[in-house]
Structure 1
Amino acid sequence: MADADADTRPNVLLVLTDQERYDCSAPEGPPVETPAIDRLSSEGVRFEQACTPISICSSARASLLTGQFPHGHGMLNNCHEPDAIRANLPADMPTFSEELVAAGYDLTYTGKWHAGRDQTPADFGFSYLGGSDEHHDDIDAAFREYRADRGTPVGEADLAEEIYTGDDPRDGDEGTFVAAKTPVDIEETRPYFLAERTIDAIEDHAEGDGDGPFFHRADFYGPHHPYVVPEPYASMYDPEAIEPPASYAETYDGKPRVHENYLTYRGVDDFDWELWAEAVAKYWGFVTLIDHQLERILDALAEHGLADETAVIHASDHGDFAGSHRQFNKGPLMYDDTYRIPLQVRWPGVADAGARSETPVHLHDLAATFLELADVPVPDSFDSRSLVPLLENGGEPPAALDWRASTFAQYHGDEFGLYSQRMVRTADYKYVYNGPDIDELYDLTADPAELQNLVDHPEYEEVRRDMRTRLVDWMDETEDPNRVWVTDVLENGS
């Protein structure tokens, strides 16, 4: 006889990747093997219009944690940098994780953090299970100990096929490390180790005697550069077979000056497609390596009888240029390459299998979603909307629910200074406000590569006016502190 008092709220497994492009797992995207993500899409809802609120690690991760746009939580750039506007989140700022702990969830965490210079997941209700390294998060030494025990200490493997930014792409004495092949076994990579720790957590939850459900967060350090992968992933994709994306034809004509400046700043102005294709092949291999680890995690859920009672979410903090627009990494370029993100949600018994949602949503909408899954009220401070009504309705908003037909995003500058950018995106158009330079308007249907800036095109005057109005509405609704003067510019500008 079933226990009438049993907790029927679902477990939650969040798998967050670092700088994973939307198109790598899209049906119409490049030929990247992602069987686990495809499995989640076939067994749940795939969101095709999901965007990050900001394309920089700390800010996006802080938004996910707090349910707020960056101007709300104040972590506007990376917390580990010397110019960080906010190194740590205020202690009294509500987060979804602390709300879940108060509601009886058992929270565990593996992998990358990067949402506070001195804070750790433990400060926000998680039991941290290890996996960090010196990539901005020196929380513990678990991965280093793991590698040392296997006889291949971190940093001692002889890499091959290395690529660096700068004048000589094969010279590691200057520039940024882009990609390489590592001789270590798959079992010695950090993605494998993080999957192992996540599987351990699943086993512990399955065998534990806790009364409440669990929430586990697995944060992979990739496919963020450097794209360092072992075989078979290092040679899984043939660079000679990789065609340049349409955006590789970028000329920067009519674009903000910073776009072209970033080629030099990032050290890739002399990269040709042959070199980019070699890097992209490693990036794709990194995506597939992580996907295979996700597959192991999903299998572990099933083996322990937890699949039917666990909502599984896969997303990324933001994307990666990986040669698109001839750019490397990310920056003050608000293209879909870095702002559109993958998002799949499998929730057995609730979310329709194989549903494709065109509803525009944000990464940090997951914060409110987690709370509704747990029957917890969403704090007033949150700027996010729960996706539960969409998941219960085939990925589309119920008729009675008013849902915006656009997403809102921002950028506040990075290594070489602060500046203000705001963006509004619909399925058809994108408008980018650039305070110190020309604004941008793209017709995403006619020009999905976002090559032609139409902001001054006379035939798009009505579209420009509509998109500016949408942007003003978003800034007003979210109490964006820049709304006073930006609104005046947008409403009165030509």
Structure 2
Amino acid sequence: MADDTRPNVLFVLTDQERYDCTASDGPPVETETMDRLSSEGMRFDHAVTPISICTSARASLMTGRYPHGHGMLNNSHEADAIQPNLPADLETFSELLADVGYELSYTGKWHVGRDQTPEDFGFSYLGGSDVHHDDIDDAFREYRRERGVPVGDVDLEDELYTGDDPRDGSEGTFVAATTPVDVEETRAWFLAERTIDAIEAHAAGDQTDPFFHRADFYGPHHPYVVPEPYASMYDPDEIDPPASYAETYAGKPQVHENYLYYRGADGLEWDHWADATAKYWGFVTLIDDQFERVLDALEAHGLDEETAVVHASDHGDFVGNHRQFNKGPLMYDDTYRIPLQVRWPGVTEPGSVCTAPVHLHDLAATFLEIGDVPVPDAFDARSLVPLLEGGGAVPEAWPDSTFSEYHGDEFGLYTQRMVRTDRYKYVYNGPDIDELYDLERDPAELTNLIDHPEYGDVRAEIRERLVDWMAETDDPNQGWVPAVLERASRADD
């Protein structure tokens, strides 16, 4: 038993995992381990990312700030990165935990800074990066070489691409495929193995100080490349189009339809998307099975009762919903709503569900409170500990809406802000028409109600929320957006 009574933390972050894969009313994706986490802990039903792009969301998670507060507004690895690295003067939850004695380790995807690694922020990095996003470690590539199947030296099957001919790999973006390698040769297996190594190292030590381990899986981000049995686990012929596949883009910002063509997704028909969806679901199940190995290791070493386990994703993925690929300047729940489950023995009530609206970067404040560290005033984050301790009951003072933003990626800069309540979603689009959705009547977000006369009061109230939030978080756009919204409200009267 550790001398320090503070709990260990195991944080598993997936990459581009849709919220509905683990939702109670979601598609038939086998996620036994994530479901187990929900049944033994708490599932959050209204969790959102502050921004649907990797670097920006991950920087928010580290700093507890919205993107406009930390400056990482688009992906750090791209040539047009507005800011390639996280400013060194910003406090991060990991450095603060390291300062008070937590032993921090990290496996997998980083993607927060072009020239930085987890070791610059208090972690011991155990490997598993890929070339495209980070290339900060060769451990996985060496592992594959030792097994006789070097990375990139395999012949894939059932390949799918964007573009005019989805089966032609000479152009377009790689979407999905089946790989002939064994499960033990996947990056997901390797990252789980390195995480188990970290657990075993802690169990073998004196356990004087608690550990915080972060396992960042590369998936189910595209390309959805999975081995058997996962590649054929779900039958594309049994997957029906989602309601949002009926999207026409009528009454929507022009950028929505532009993005369809920019991504090359206009050449994908439903049979292609069904195939991609089946691979995506298989990817989710592959990761879920590796997560099971990690939880089994915690239990085998007697650490499960003193470890808080958290699972979330940086953001979601369209996977054909709204006929779109990947993510972009479209603030639908497909990419902004995220899975979030927490199992904290002795604190969370098993099987509890919390409906309070929360943000991904609230975890930064949560981790600090778990570690008995004061949350910096500069954080735009609210600790979830009161919700975890209260069985999911929502305190009276808890906010009833979430806020998100977007600044563009390789498609170009595009200013957006979003307010989401339990029933309504409002999206401010700087250069185009705004959006308003009644999520109760239109959960697929097909009908833009921004000009509907019956929703005038809703528009005015939710725009007022946005203005207040911009002032509270010192959003640089508060200098001119409120005046624009005020004129729009006057025009409604």
Establish whether TM, by shorter chain, passes 0.5: yes
Corresponding residue for residue 414 of structure 2: 419
* 1:31 and 2:28 aligned: yes
Corresponding residue for residue 121 of structure 2: 124
Aligned partners of 1:452 and 1:335: how far apart in 2?
12
TM-superposed deviation, 1:470:
1.2
* 1:486 and 2:481 aligned: yes
* 1:166 and 2:163 aligned: yes
**Please, which of 336, 342, 367 is the counterpart of residue 339 of structure 2?**
342
The more displaced of 354-363 and 414-423 is 414-423
Corresponding residue for residue 397 of structure 1: 394
Corresponding residue for residue 430 of structure 2: 435
**Please, which of 206, 212, 217 is the counterpart of residue 209 of structure 2?**
212
**Alignment length (residue pairs):** 489
**Please, which of 354, 357, 369 is the counterpart of residue 357 of structure 1?**
354
Q: Deviation digits for residues 105-152 of structure 1, max 9, x if unmatched?
A: 000000000000000000000000001121311011000000000010
2:163 touches 2:268 (CA, 8 Å); kept in 1? no
Corresponding residue for residue 192 of structure 1: 189
TM-superposed deviation, 1:7:
1.1
Aligned partners of 2:455 and 2:89: how far apart in 1?
45
Corresponding residue for residue 458 of structure 2: 463
Aligned partners of 1:210 and 1:120: how far apart in 2?
26
TM-superposed deviation, 1:492:
2.1
Off by >3 Å, runs of 4+ in structure 1: none
The 5-angstrom pairing of residues 144-159 of structure 1 reads 144-159=141-156
Aligned partners of 2:400 and 2:409: how far apart in 1?
29
TM-superposed deviation, 1:483:
1.1
* 1:18 and 2:21 aligned: no
Identify unmatched segments of 5+ residues in structure 1: none
TM-superposed deviation, 1:91:
1.0
The 5-angstrom pairing of residues 173-252 of structure 1 reads 173-252=170-249
Aligned partners of 2:391 and 2:420: how far apart in 1?
22
Percent of aligned positions with the same letter in both sequences?
76
- The one-letter code matched in structure 2 to 1:83 is D
- The one-letter code matched in structure 1 to 2:386 is P
* 1:286 and 2:283 aligned: yes
Identify unmatched segments of 5+ residues in structure 2: none
Q: Tell me the TM-score normalized by structure 1.
A: 0.98
Q: Deviation digits for residues 38-63 of structure 1, max 9, x if unmatched?
A: 00000111000000000000000000
**What RMSD, in angstroms, separates the aligned Cα atoms of the two structures?**
0.9
- The one-letter code matched in structure 1 to 2:485 is L
Corresponding residue for residue 261 of structure 2: 264
2:54 touches 2:315 (CA, 8 Å); kept in 1? yes
Q: Deviation digits for residues 407-435 of structure 1, max 9, x if unmatched?
A: 00000011132121000000100000000
TM-superposed deviation, 1:396:
2.5
Aligned partners of 2:393 and 2:419: how far apart in 1?
20
Corresponding residue for residue 99 of structure 2: 102
**Please, which of 65, 68, 72 is the counterpart of residue 65 of structure 2?**
68
- The one-letter code matched in structure 2 to 1:185 is D
Aligned partners of 1:430 and 1:130: how far apart in 2?
40
TM-superposed deviation, 1:314:
0.1
- The one-letter code matched in structure 1 to 2:450 is V
TM-superposed deviation, 1:482:
0.4
* 1:136 and 2:133 aligned: yes
Aligned partners of 1:146 and 1:121: how far apart in 2?
21
Aligned partners of 2:321 and 2:337: how far apart in 1?
13
Corresponding residue for residue 300 of structure 2: 303
